Structure 1
Amino acid sequence: MKYDCLKEFKDEEFRRLTGVKRSTFEKMVDILKEAESAKKAFGGRPNRLSIEDQLLMALEYIREYRTYFHVASSYQISESACYRNIRWIEDVLIKHPDFALPGRKALLKSDMSYEVVLIDATETPIERPKKNQRYFYSGKKKNHTLKSQVIVNKASRKIICTAFSNGKRHDFRLFKESKVKIHPKTKVITDTGYQGLKKIHLNTNMPKKKTKKKPLSKEDKRNNKHQSSERVLNENVIGMLKRFKILAERYRNRRKRFCLRFNLI
């Protein structure tokens, strides 16, 4: 579908189709046009598609996660041209400061920009690797996966920073290896996958686990339910990310660009 066909769409329909708001789409177009004008200075063959169509094609790819062949057929270009266009758009947008995450250093600022943060990890299935299969095998998902850690600001529901590893890596181990340091006054809410975080960050809330000898009391169950209602916000953020099928379905591309695409989305 070409961009001219979407001009009559309502804003809600536009977002449902592309995964982004119309204002965000227009902002991305401005960034890409600026990058294209700089690229034209070096010469080269002009692109058959407009910037709007190229961006729409890239969003269509990560939103629906069809093959390059199917997407290229919709825009009547070659499969290799489709790949080059999508790769160029991803590289340009991820380098622009408007599409950069605050990063780990933002969590240590003394101005208390983040009073409460939520930490959780999600997994994306991948194709079975030819080498080091055990390294990527997740016992929880019973599949080969890539694990992504997301730290979210509770007030704004915006992602602060991310970290990535193989599916076999434990959630808390991924947190330690990501070298994330949080301001002592910032409250952290997480699940039981981060047992031991209280030793590193005292202001941490997580559900209490029951044992055979020590079952949970009514008060413990009440507290766990209250914490789950606060923690569900992080699950909602991850759910919004996985509306882009490239993160939800089996990832077929090279694993090197997975982090870039996750952060861009």
Structure 2
Amino acid sequence: MLNYARVSAYSRIFRSLTGMTPEAFRRLLPAFRQAHEQALDEADARRDSPRQRRRGAGRKPVLRTPEDKLFFILVYFRLYPTQEVLGFLFGLGQPQANYWVHWLTPILNAALGYEMQLPARQPATLQQVLEACPELQFILDGTERPIQRPKDRQRQQEYYSGRKKRHTVKNVVITHEPSGRILGLSRTHPGRKHDKAVADEEGFPFPPGSHLWEDTGFEGYAPEGVIVHRPQKKPPKGELSPEAKAQNRAIAQERMGVEHTIGKVKIFRIVREPYRNHRPSFEDLIMETACGLCNLLLDCRSAKVAQRVATA
């Protein structure tokens, strides 16, 4: 049976199971404890009658400690097993695994919020985040995640992505160059919607004078006062000039950073494998949480590099 105490001594196995380094796990743990206590207090406040026993009385759960609970939900995000398999790994039944998944995911999200790792979602907040960047250089890109084929015919058409040739949901991300952090994340949209249409609908408030790198999927998207860098398309029945090809290569090299960041987000298989959960808005919550985990890993890596440089 998996638990934190059994795996924590093996750093490589720990990272393979959770996607997190032991250092990142320990950094997140105090915020997770705080978020968990806050969730319990809110649950007690919603009770119709006062508690008859102290919190924690009665039969002891399998996931007793905050370390075990954080380890459990990270394993779910990293490996995305079915709930039957997840329960088997942790000595739980499928209904218990389902309960813990939906109880702990918002707590993990709140903990990342306490650590200031979540991407901004609201225009006012995003504006403050973007303006605070020392270098106003951003990369915009869309990312799609597969979902199960909807049963409703209208939803089938709405969520079918001609680009991916399957049913998907889509988000647009804003990353900072050169740190790679995800600063902004759009709402989750059906896969059929075009990247530019998503960006237009979200109304991202880029500061004047910003440099914004895009791909050709955002053709025509040019916020006022922003310097846009976008590859040129090859003209019909024509060829690009050597200068245009060189410029496209330079833009592609700059844009590579966002592809690397999205790849880091998708080490968590819950946002890479076909999405199986049918709870409303849960697909948006897990994407935001996975982006927060990616930002936390990037921060821990930067701190480690800075420490090495300081001691060199």
Query: When the two structures are superposed, what TM-score results if normalisation uses the length of structure 2?
Result: 0.78
Render the CA deviation track for 1:123-161: whole Å, top value 9, x for unaligned.
Answer: 111111122210000011110000111100012110011
CA distance in 1, matches of 2:249, 2:272: 27
CA contact (8 A) 1:123 1:147 kept: yes
CA distance in 1, matches of 2:126, 2:223: 21
1:160 is the counterpart of 2:161:
no
Residues 79-94 of structure 1 correspond to what in structure 2 (within 5 A)?
A: 79-94=94-109
Residues 24-103 of structure 1 correspond to what in structure 2 (within 5 A)?
A: 24-37=24-37, 39=40, 43=55, 45=58, 46-50=60-64, 51-95=66-110, 96-98=113-115, 99-103=117-121
Could you say what secondary structure the match of 1:198 adopts?
A: coil
Tell me what 1:2 maps to. 3
Render the CA deviation track for 1:70-102: whole Å, top value 9, x for unaligned.
Answer: 010111112121122222221112234324324
Structure 2: runs of 5 or more not aligned: 45-50, 291-312
Could you say what secondary structure the match of 1:182 adopts?
A: coil
CA contact (8 A) 2:209 2:226 kept: no
Residues 1-265 of structure 1 correspond to what in structure 2 (within 5 A)?
A: 1-10=2-11, 12-37=12-37, 39=40, 43=55, 45=58, 46-50=60-64, 51-95=66-110, 96-98=113-115, 99-103=117-121, 104=123, 105-107=125-127, 110-131=131-152, 132-163=155-186, 164-198=188-222, 200=224, 202-212=226-236, 214-254=238-278, 256-265=281-290
What amino acid is aligned across from residue 63 of structure 1 in structure 2? R
Cα 1:201–1:171 change in 2 (3 A) is farther
CA contact (8 A) 2:36 2:107 kept: no
Cα 1:262–1:114 change in 2 (3 A) is farther
CA contact (8 A) 2:210 2:226 kept: no
Deviation of residue 201 (structure 1)? 5.1
CA distance in 1, matches of 2:185, 2:243: 34
Render the CA deviation track for 1:201-220: whole Å, top value 9, x for unaligned.
Answer: 54100000111255210000
Cα 1:107–1:169 change in 2 (3 A) is same
Could you say what secondary structure the match of 2:25 adopts?
A: helix
Number of equivalent positions: 264
CA contact (8 A) 1:146 1:166 kept: yes
What amino acid is aligned across from residue 101 of structure 1 in structure 2? P
Cα 1:35–1:157 change in 2 (3 A) is closer
What amino acid is aligned across from residue 184 of structure 2 in structure 1? C
CA contact (8 A) 1:63 1:244 kept: yes
What is the RMSD computed on CA atoms of the aligned residues? 2.2
Structure 1: runs of 5 or more not aligned: none
Deviation of residue 248 (structure 1)? 1.1
CA distance in 2, matches of 1:112, 1:27: 24
Could you say what secondary structure the match of 2:204 adopts?
A: coil
Runs of 4+ residues over 6 Å off in structure 1 = none
CA distance in 1, matches of 2:231, 2:237: 17
CA distance in 2, matches of 1:37, 1:187: 42
What amino acid is aligned across from residue 215 of structure 1 in structure 2? E
Cα 1:204–1:37 change in 2 (3 A) is closer
Cα 1:49–1:110 change in 2 (3 A) is closer
Render the CA deviation track for 1:167-216: whole Å, top value 9, x for unaligned.
Answer: 00000000011121201111000100001123645410000011125521
CA contact (8 A) 2:120 2:185 kept: no
Could you say what secondary structure the match of 1:23 adopts?
A: helix
CA contact (8 A) 2:213 2:255 kept: yes
Deviation of residue 23 (structure 1)? 2.6
